[in-house]
Amino acid sequence: MIRKTILPLLFMLASCLTSTSQTTPAINNALKAINPDGIKASMTFLSDDLLEGRQPGTRGFAVASKYVETQFMALGLKPGVDGKSYIQKVPLQKGTIEESGCGFSIINNGETEALGYGKDYVMSPYYFNETASVKAPLAFAGFGISAPDLGYDDYKDLDVKGKIVVVIDQAPETFPSNERAYFTSRDAKFAEAIKRGAVGFIGFSMPDNSRTSWVATVRRGKQGAFRWVDPQGKPANAYEGLKSVSTMNYTSAKKLFANSGKIIGEVYTQIKSGKPLSFDLGLSADLKVSTKFQFVDGSNLVGIIPGSDPKLKDEYVVYAAHVDHFGIGAAVNGDSLYNGAHDNASGPSILLQIAAAYKALPAAPKRSVLFTVVTAEEYGLLGSDYFISNLPGIKKENVVANLSIDMPFFFHPVLDIVPYGYQHSSLSKQVDAATKVLKLKISPDPFPEQVVFIRSDHFSFIKKGVPALFIKSGFMTVASDTVDRSKSDVAWRSTIYHTPKDDMNQAFDFDGGATHAKVNFLIGYYVSTETARPTWNKGDFFGKRFSGK
Picking from 131, 421, 154, the residue whose alpha carbon sits closest to that of residue 429 is: 421
Helix (H) or strand (E) holding 182: helix 177-184
Picking from 452, 430, 421, the residue whose alpha carbon sits closest to that of residue 536 is: 421
For 69, the 3-state DSSP assignment is helix
Picking from 549, 523, 526, the residue whose alpha carbon sits closest to that of residue 538 is: 549
Domains, the chain, ranges and CATH?
A: 22-85+306-547 (3.40.630.10), 95-293 (3.50.30.30)
Report DSSP letters for 270-333, one per residue: HHHTT----EEEEEEEEEEEEEEEEEEEEEEEEEEE--SSTTGGGSEEEEEEE----EEEEEET
Q: Would you write out the chain's pLDDT as a tens digit for each of its 549 residues?
A: 334 444 333 333 333 434 455 689 999 999 999 999 999 999 999 999 999 999 999 999 999 999 999 999 999 999 999 999 999 999 999 999 999 999 999 999 999 999 999 999 999 999 999 999 999 999 999 999 999 999 999 999 999 999 999 999 999 999 998 999 999 999 999 999 999 999 999 999 999 886 778 998 998 898 899 999 999 999 999 999 999 999 999 999 999 999 999 999 999 999 999 999 999 999 999 999 999 999 999 999 999 999 999 999 999 999 999 999 999 998 999 999 999 999 999 999 999 999 999 999 999 999 999 999 999 999 999 999 999 999 999 999 999 999 999 999 999 999 999 999 999 999 999 999 999 999 999 999 888 877 788 889 999 999 999 999 999 999 998 878 888 888 888 889 889 999 999 999 999 999 999 999 999 999 999 999 999 999 999 999 999 999 876
Q: For residues 341 and 339, what is the distance between their CA atoms, to the nearest angstrom? A: 6
Residue 107 CB coordination number (10 Å): 16
295: which strand partners?
A: 93
Q: For residues 413 and 478, what is the distance between their CA atoms, to the nearest angstrom? A: 7
